[in-house]
Structure 1
Amino acid sequence: MTAFVLVPGTFTGGWVWQEVAARLRESGAEVHPVTLTGMDDRRHLAGPDTDLETHVDDVVRLIDEVATPQVVIVGHDYGIHPVLGAADRRPERIARVVHLDAGIPQDGEPAARLVTDQAVRDRLSGPAVSDDDWRIQPPALDGWQRWGSTAGVPEDALALLSDRAAPQPRATLTQPLRLSGAASELPSTGVLCTANGSSIAIVQASVGLGDPRLKALTDPRVTFFELATGHWPMLSVPAELAEVLLRAAAGEGHRLAEAAGEPPPHLRPFLLDPPEQHRERVGRIDLHLPDADGPRPAVVFVHGGPVPAEARPTPRDWPGFAGYAQYVASLGAVGVTLDHRLHSVGDYGRAADDVSAAVDLVRADPRVDGERVALWFFSGGGLLSADWLASSRPWLRCVAATYPVLAPLPSWGLTDTRFRPATAVREAGRLPIVLTRVELELAEIAVTVEEFLAAAEDCEAVVEIVDVPGGHHGFETIDHTEQARDAVTRAVWSVLGHLRS
């Protein structure tokens, strides 16, 4: 018999697992939903001293009471913190740890770091300001989206979520998680909810970027599943979730590939082979210079992310960006690659400052015609285009975007309206926009592109779409097809055309 211990996230109690637990029991499993101290019908037990260790103790006590020798322990959202704390203390009792749309917290990290509501993150980073500030009030009925996508949750279930929500003791989110390392040796499974902005493809790409913290995810004992729903799958797809948990307990699931003897996708060759041009490094930027006299127009290529700070080579040296820059230089314009500091989703402000400083540096270079500049954004860097769309600059002749993220993904918790291109495009006027769209885009990103295009159409923005049939996210180093080459050529010539007009 498989025994499950189900630990809920912020504001909720064991009741949230009711339908999932019933289906697991129907399959013959033993199920133990957890209501942590201070939550739901235990809310009267909460106080200023209720912290993460309190909740770790709750889970440890329950594990000790279960007669089954080993349990599969599931943590949703915040619940992964007490789950890992308990697994670290009782590793011999744990058959598998399941991260249900949850992060991978490390030793010394508080749960506040993974809170998606930016306003709450900001509040938790400061001192308590009142006697009642020891607890965080749950969101209103229309505010749950700030804690994760509510896609798929029926209206009555969302209403019940609000009715039964209890304040979250502040110290459960601010006290650092303490781990000895024992839990890291246990088999684990990640269940990713794609409507909340996570997917196996995104995790695989992140591993390929070289983040050392993610290397462990390629261990064969680590598996993954996807659910096409939002952040509360126990309410939106309980039957599917129960099935996934049973399969996870059996060791099933997708395993990430670790490239053997070949570079990761972003370090493979560029799909074109332009003539080699002179390249010069100035601070955080590289100038790819044409063989031409006099100041030339420039195209600044802005990479996506987040990219781990430890990633080597850095993006300006990736074959795709260097390939684009060499190509435009071979056609008579200055190609610019740069490194900006988008290392986490909280770094967009800093990255925007880096891009602005790089543009100033490029425009001041005597080899550049500072009155003819284009900015070209890729992937997660697409959010950085909002600053440039929203304000008129006569020297900015074109904004381009390739497989861009054009709205913050729900799991990012990025509520700053500054980084919303779908809003900013309404201020773009007649600024030309060249958007390269791939047919096989990740669903969670494709939604943001459609939102942007709808807003652009509504305000009659000037958008040229370059489609890549059969193209993937990052197609320039993945899809060496005629359609892909044609798309790059068309997009580059379009951007250069706007610079020369």
Structure 2
Amino acid sequence: MPVTYVLVHGAWHSGQCWSKVVPRLAANGSAVFTPTLTGYGETRHLLSPSTGLGTHTDDVVRLLVEEDLREVVLVGHSYAGMVISGVANEVPERIARLVYLDAMVPEHGESALDALPAARGMLGDGWRVPPPQEPFGLFGLTEPADIAWLRTMVSDQTTRCLTEPVAMDNPALAAIPRTHIHCTPKPEGVEPRPVPAVQPDGEPADVRELVSGHDCMITVPDELSKMLLDVSSAVGAGR
């Protein structure tokens, strides 16, 4: 059954990173939205010290409300695990499932630095956090064409994105099913937070693995799309 996907990119990227996945999901009639968060990609000119997690949460909430999207499979890659958590806290009635795609998985009041302490090494002296000089090292790309394409896309993010805490205090948030997709193998020192055996909604944890570098939407779009289609199969059928 066709569903609505909202795919939220991670730090430094833009909505363009999902270009290989969109047609694969849309082929069965599903609606797919790939917003670019404020300050990235084509909106990089809007980046300022005040741009942060709250800004990006508002970006996605606004999309859901303005497009009147419901029963959404909300996918957050990497840093966007923080974003989709905040969005679900704001508009839980619009979300059918949260998918943490190789993502930060926070608790209420945590920042990205709490969810992934290894990210502390990204901080510098100023408010800008530039993308890595060698994206293939951090994002798991090996093909020269993919690396060149990613270089045209990435841009700075802010320190505030990493330090601003997420609100997850809406009781309705716990009722939303979750799926965790981990890309494997992981670089040394970057381990995902353990997923509890039981989800907040009381269901057994749904944890899946993709053999891929971090940017799986670029490296293995077929496999990722099939997994997302499978994950969404319960939406609209009583979950």
TM-score by length of 1: 0.43
Shift of 1:115: 5.8
Whichever of the two has the greater Rg, that structure is: 1
1:53–1:231 distance in 2 versus 1, CA, 3 Å: same
Equivalence for 1:231: 214
CA distance in 2, matches of 1:239, 1:143: 22
Shift of 1:8: 0.5
Task: Give the number of the structure with larger relative contact order, counting CA–CA contacts within 8 Å between residues 6 or more apart.
Answer: 2
CA distance in 1, matches of 2:143, 2:113: 28
Amino acid at match of 1:231: H
Shift of 1:143: 4.9
Could you report, residue by residue, the CA deviation over 1:36-95 in whole angstroms, capped at 9, with x for unpaired residues?
000000011111111110000001001112344311000000011111101111101000
Question: What is the alpha-carbon root mean square deviation over aligned residues?
Answer: 2.5
Contact 2:183 2:209 in 1 (8 A): yes
Where 2:55 maps in the other structure, the secondary structure is: helix
CA distance in 2, matches of 1:192, 1:135: 28
Contact 1:14 1:35 in 2 (8 A): yes
Where 1:19 maps in the other structure, the secondary structure is: coil
Equivalence for 1:137: 130
Query: Is 1:63 matched with 2:64?
Result: yes
Equivalence for 1:171: 160
Shift of 1:225: 1.8
Equivalence for 2:146: 157
1:52–1:68 distance in 2 versus 1, CA, 3 Å: closer
Equivalence for 1:195: 185
CA distance in 2, matches of 1:230, 1:115: 20
Could you report, residue by residue, the CA deviation over 1:125-170 in whole angstroms, capped at 9, with x for unpaired residues?
xxxx4xxx11101111x2542x35x15x422112221221110121
Equivalence for 2:86: 85
1:154–1:184 distance in 2 versus 1, CA, 3 Å: farther
CA distance in 2, matches of 1:157, 1:4: 24
1:86–1:118 distance in 2 versus 1, CA, 3 Å: closer
CA distance in 2, matches of 1:83, 1:68: 14
Could you report, residue by residue, the CA deviation over 1:292-340 in whole angstroms, capped at 9, with x for unpaired residues?
xxxxxxxxxxxxxxxxxxxxxxxxxxxxxxxxxxxxxxxxxxxxxxxxx
Amino acid at match of 1:63: L
CA distance in 2, matches of 1:143, 1:240: 22
CA distance in 2, matches of 1:233, 1:239: 10
Contact 2:104 2:112 in 1 (8 A): no
Could you report, residue by residue, the CA deviation over 1:389-416 in whole angstroms, capped at 9, with x for unpaired residues?
xxxxxxxxxxxxxxxxxxxxxxxxxxxx
Pairs aligned (count): 229
Amino acid at match of 2:176: L
User: After the TM superposition, which parts of structure 1 deviate over 6 Å for at least 4 consecutive aligned residues?
Assistant: none
Shift of 1:221: 5.7
Over the matched positions of the two proteins, sequence identity in percent amounts to 35
Contact 1:196 1:229 in 2 (8 A): no
> Structure 1 stretch 178-187 or stretch 8-17: which is displaced more?
178-187
Where 2:99 maps in the other structure, the secondary structure is: strand
